[in-house]
Structure 1
Amino acid sequence: MSVYENYVTQFGSFKKIDAFGYLDYLEGHPDEPRKHGKVVLVTADTPLKASRGEGKTTTTIALIDALRARGIDAAAVLRQPSMGITAAGSKGGASGGGKASLTHPELVDWGLCGEMAAIAAAQNLLVAFAEKAVDDERLDTIAVPRVSETPSRSLRRVRVDDGKNNIAERVVLTPTCELTQIVVLSRSMDEISNRVSNMVAGEKDGQPVRFGDFIDLWRITNILTEAVKPAYTETMQGSPVYVHCGPFANVSIGIPSLVSVEMACARHDVVVVEAGYGTDAGAQKWLDIAAREYGAQWPSAAIVVTRATTWRDDPTLRWRYPFHVHRLESLGIPAFPMINLWDGEDDQVLELRQQASHLKFREPIVGNLFRDGGDALVNQLDGFVAAVQNEGIPSVPGSHKGMDILEHVRWIADSAYGVPAERVVMRDGFSESLQDARALCAALGQDLNDYAVVAVKSPATMTDNDSAPEESRSVTLKKVEVHAGAGLVQVNLTSSLTTPMPKIV
């Protein structure tokens, strides 16, 4: 039995891997055989509608099936979705579709991997501790929100009045909360404990109070014992897939946990990582938060997925897909356009290839992956395989920690959305919000500029108005929210809700 098997346990219908323990063992035994897999990022065009995916998961599954058919040891790392968008029908599932599906899609789509429920329990227990701290006069306000896996408009903002205290609280979806971000970024239980300890519970006499000031953190970390373990499942063709954390790249990080990717890289030659929503969302956060600030691997290549309709239907939005592809190329990442055909679109292939050539893309990969799965890709991957195998892993660009936060946000707008600094504008109230965030960090003995920036934005737009002419597109800054435990500062850029409503069908 391999050492790896010692860290694998059966969890219902699938397996869980103690990634913390396995990676710690490898670090302590440098002679133990391990691989150093290369990361491939699967990202996408910005969808025409927030509720419509472009096919990243379907592509990811088909891609690893095709790579393995070519004799390459490939695996995928997918995100555990939120039931607030999958079970509620607001978006498609997160387990692929058709021939490019997982063997047990219900385990992913219905949250049965378990970490979201455990994170919700732990986050809500933190709020309960904060409420008790108000009763005990340790806190005057509560800063951390409750969470739910199902959306409710009535719970976005609430007040709790027990006759003695009248406290403002709020509720967000589990994947958007700080504790989810902590699990995504942490590499050990000690790190999780330290980060939770540094979460701001609220204020007392105008000064921030951390959770570590008044609770025993083992109560929280014990709840997360299984939640920190990636789940293992397979595609219908038997390809290995790890699932852990990461939905909502528009209002959170939107990437799988760093340990799940690191573990997969220790076991496979090519690891295909799915990033949420479009290249302006999940891919931006993998590159600028996971890789640039937290030491995750810079991708050796990227697949940029689009539907034929998204790419071409609205003439005012056609600029977005080429922008995404060329931006990744400018970062030294070979970016391969993937056109996800739907039924009835096979006769458009020649025209699509001609358009791709006109835009100076690499040779596009085209197929109906729902219908054909990895079989559609096997013979189209020569250039992709050459790029992954023949090019070394690019070095990660330098950290932006210490950069003034306004300059940092302007840099994101310019590099990720194509909006120059002079057209990044501040809504009324933003300056006050930024001033409050700086004061909070100063009271914690920290510098806001040392935090990694999480852009909170609409999943379906890159700017205030993507249909506007290029020379007039802008990005509006709306508010700032500090997540001291996660080491992140969230900056709201465009309209986006942390409790999206279900789709009525």
Structure 2
Amino acid sequence: MGNTGFKSDIEIARAARKLPILEIGASLGIPAEELLPYGHDKAKISANFIAAQKGKKDGRLILVTAINPTPAGEGKTTTTVGLGDGLNRIGKKAIVCIREASLGPCFGVKGGAAGGGYAQVVPMEDINLHFTGDFHAITSAHNLLAALIDNHIYWGNEQNIDIRRIAWRRVMDMNDRALRDIVCSLGGVANGFPREAGFDITVASEVMAILCLSEDLADLEKRLGNIIVGYRRDKSPVFARDIKADGAMAVLLKDAIQPNLVQTLENNPAFVHGGPFANIAHGCNSVVATKTALKLADYVVTEAGFGADLGAEKFFDIKCRKAGLKPDAAVIVATARAMKMNGGVKKDALGEENIAAVRKGCANLGRHVQNVKKFGVPVIVAINHFSSDTEGEIQAIKDYVATLGAQAVLCRHWAEGSAGIEELAHKVVALAESGRSQFAPLYPDDMSLFHKIETIAKDIYHASEVIADKSVRDQLHAWEAQGYGNLPICMAKTQYSFSTDPNLRGAPEGHTVPVREVRLSAGAGFVVVITGEIMTMPGLPKVPSSERIFLNEQGQIEGLF
């Protein structure tokens, strides 16, 4: 395939020779009648087929995670897709499992989420836009519940919901800071009782988390019923099932819970399903997709959002704990460019060789390597190659990683596809088959909620303390008294730093983690802890990506990346 030259991701994706999706399904042993096609290149896998795989042996699970993201770019999804292709290239049956893209970041800062260069999943445009409608279904189910709450209050409020204590906000899959805090039901008696409310982005919705953690449709409906929508004046919780919302919500999600099958540029299978935000929610693709893939392949390569301090920690402590998954190996993605940024180099000087800065920045990588090892999972580092990297910089990373008792492998999948990542594929197989994984979550279920928060902050972030107002601590104690003390913690924190200060790069020690707010996701089964300045509804930047997205004269989409 050679170097990509000046071809953009979208041009490469457009030139791809895709196989009909029924052929991709057939390669996994999925009969045509068990696929629900969305056009020729996308399909959902039927619930009946998934249920029939239950007794089969599981393949091996590989997590791809990364250092803290920098504006230099790391290429975690690109590496996930590349490794999936690489494993297939060396004769292993592998499936890639990644998340669906949110429209918010797509039109905001980040761009798409389908990989890049010659390591992409296709159809790239569809995956980054409406895809199979899963996010729209989640948005609709979430907002149906919001409408039912206000309607219940309007028609007499049989459940005695205290309108000052409604916990359920509305959502949309867009970055829109104007909707963070609103007043609703204005306009007189006919429109209900005015109150403060607000919007979160769809990928921060508890419904998204529930869809991604449910085992099947029955489990989904049960979890939807467990959502706490608000509290009565006596502070007792009101559940979605109390206002009979769970059945209708499940109906809206009956197709959305079925995993989506697509393909890589090299015609290997990929499951793209679910997409909770990683800096707010738990940042992993669906349990249904991962478990189904494990029944159909020797190797499943999945990723968790952002750096290992957020994504990997939540993958291990929430997803693996809840779903009974045992990862066999973890890959941490790093780049020489990002090491230089962590070492203090400005973005416009990243093209110049700076081995000293690479060495200095490696502290960030080292912290992530050691953190992943705390979960008992063996680690290998993937150096995602950029054309400006020098041999000296690459060697500096390899030498540093060797001091941690791990290996770093240079990968050229972006430019060369699977041929550029063969070495990593062989080494991941050796690591996964070594039997070295002794996976265990970071903390036990029965630890107190605040102690769990402290454990993550101290062991993973290397903070010296967690500070929280009495109201936050009282809220945690109240939830423990109500029987929610055994739930895991989902930290909402900046992705750019181990600390809660996005500008603090490298491997800071001894910082403080301020907890601003806690939210109980009783349906999803975790407690969300909001730290620092994190927003559950992002805003758009001064120059959003949307300004560069348009249809060309051939009616093709330009500007998605």
TM-score by length of 2: 0.82
Contact 1:208/1:440 (8 A) holds in 2: no
Alignment of 1:306-325 (within 5 A): 306-315=334-343, 318-325=362-369
C-alpha separation between the residues in 1 aligned to 2:480 and 2:111? Answer: 39
Note the C-alpha offset of 1:14.
3.5
User: 1:384 aligned to 428, 433, 440, which one?
Assistant: 428
Q: Distance in 2 between matches of 1:36 and 1:397?
A: 20
Q: Identify the match of residue 405 of structure 1 among 449, 452, 455.
A: 449
Partner of 1:487: 525
Match of 1:225?
254
Distance 2:284 2:199 in 1: 22
AA partner of residue 163 (structure 1): G
2:432 paired with 1:432:
no
Against the structure 1 CA distance between its residues 148 and 286, is the aligned structure 2 distance closer, same or farther, given a 3 Å change threshold? Answer: same
Q: What is aligned with 1:502?
A: 540
Cα distance between partner residues in 2 of 1:25 and 1:157: 46
Map of 1:46 onto structure 2: 68
Q: Which string of whole-angstrom CA distances, capped at 9 and with x for unpartnered residues, describes residues 284-312 of structure 1? A: 101011112x1342211111011212123
After superposition, the C-alpha distances for 1:77-108 in whole angstroms (9 at most, x for unaligned) are 0101211001x141031111111112311121
1:157 and 2:176 are equivalent in the alignment: no
Q: Summarize deviations over 1:308-341 as a string: whole Å, max 9, x none.
A: 1212333375422111012223433221111112
Amino acid at match of 1:40: I
Any idea what SS the aligned residue of 1:101 has? strand
- For 1:79-478, list aligned pairs within 5 A: 79-86=99-106, 88-138=107-157, 139-141=161-163, 142-160=166-184, 161-164=186-189, 165-206=193-234, 207-292=236-321, 294-315=322-343, 318-348=362-392, 350-357=394-401, 359-391=403-435, 394-397=438-441, 400-419=444-463, 423-427=464-468, 430-439=469-478, 442=481, 446-465=482-501, 466-467=504-505, 470-478=508-516
- Amino acid paired to 1:48: T
| CA deviation profile, 1:50-91 (whole Å, cap 9, x unmatched) | xx64211100111111111110111110101211001x1410
Q: Secondary structure at the match of 2:143?
A: helix
What are structure 2's unaligned runs of at least 5 residues? 1-25, 345-360, 545-561
Shift of 1:267: 0.1
Determine if contact 1:53/1:92 at 8 Å carries over to the other structure: no
Offset from partner CA, 1:6-31 (integer Å, 9 cap, x none): 4321123444344643342233xx4x
Q: Deviations over 1:154-199 (max 9, x none)?
A: 1001111343412121100001011111101111211111111111
Tell me if the contact between 2:45 and 2:261 (Cα under 8 Å) persists in the aligned partners: no
Deviation at 1:129, TM superposition (A): 0.3
Is the 1:457–1:492 contact (alpha carbons within 8 Å) kept by the matching residues of 2?
yes
Q: Counterpart in 1 of 2:86?
A: 66
Kindly state the Cα deviation for residue 435 of structure 1 after the two structures are TM-superposed.
1.6
- 3-state SS, counterpart of residue 209 of structure 1: strand
Deviations 1:426-481 (A, max 9, x none): 14xx3203323543664xxx323122211110111211343598553222222111
- The letter for the 2-side match of 1:404 is S
- Aligned-residue offset at 1:343: 2.4
Contact 1:19/1:263, CA 8 A, preserved across alignment? no
**Structure 1's 407 and 440: CA in aligned 2 closer, same or farther, altered over 3 A?**
closer
Distance in 2, matches of 1:484 and 1:217, equals: 14
Distance 2:509 2:176 in 1: 39
Does the alignment pair 1:26 with 2:39? Answer: no
Q: For residues 397 and 367 of structure 1, do their structure 2 counterparts lie closer, same or farther at Cα, with a shift above 3 Å needed?
A: closer
CA distance in 2, matches of 1:48, 1:468: 11
Whole-angstrom distance in 1 between the partners of 2:220 and 2:311 = 22
Paired amino acid for 1:490? V
Q: Deviations over 1:229-255 (max 9, x none)?
A: 111111111111001112411100100
Whether the 8 Å contact between 2:65 and 2:306 is mirrored in structure 1 is: yes
Cα shift at 1:218: 2.3
Where 2:301 maps in the other structure, the secondary structure is strand
Distance 1:47 1:431 in 2: 33
Give me the identity figure in percent: 26
Matched-pair contact (CA < 8 Å) for 1:477–1:491: yes
Change (3 A) 1:361 1:296: same
Contact preservation (8 Å) 2:517, 2:530: yes
Q: CA deviation at 1:277?
A: 0.5
RMSD over aligned Cα atoms: 2.3
99-108 or 358-367, larger mean C-alpha shift: 358-367
Q: State how many pairs are aligned.
A: 488
The residue type equivalent to 1:103 in the other structure is: V
